[in-house]
Amino acid sequence: MKGVLLIIGFLAAVLLFADRGIAAGKQDGKALYSAKCSGCHGADGKGNAALATALSADPGAMDLTKKDVKDVKKRSNQDLSCVIKNGKGKMPAVTGLSDAEITAVIKYVRSLK
């Protein structure tokens, strides 16, 4: 009986801390996005038309929430990670992020509506 209670307690602790880890990862992704991405993509992911105009870029290209062929939610994590690391078009490479931090940013971007 004592062994069963110990196992149940252990499993409950694992689930509790795993849930906190997921929430912390999402929060970290939001903080990293705010620091590294929101200047161009906006706090809500819908782009920043003023900055797009200054860059002579299509404001729609900066919109991470739009639903078209280039929809972020349809792209693989590997593809998005490559874009973040290397840049694409007028988007420069984002430096100073670990692979884990890039994954957290991608999770956060996928949560934007």
Domain 29-111: give its CATH superfamily.
Cytochrome c-like domain (1.10.760.10)
- The torsion angle over the Cα atoms of residues 51, 56, 59 and 64, rounded to 10 degrees, is -80
Torsion of CA 52, 58, 61, 63, to 10 degrees: 60
Reported pTM: 0.69
Q: Which has the closest alpha carbon to 57: 95, 93, 89, 94?
A: 89
Q: Mean pLDDT for the chain?
A: 75
Q: Is residue 64 pLDDT above 70, yes or no?
A: yes
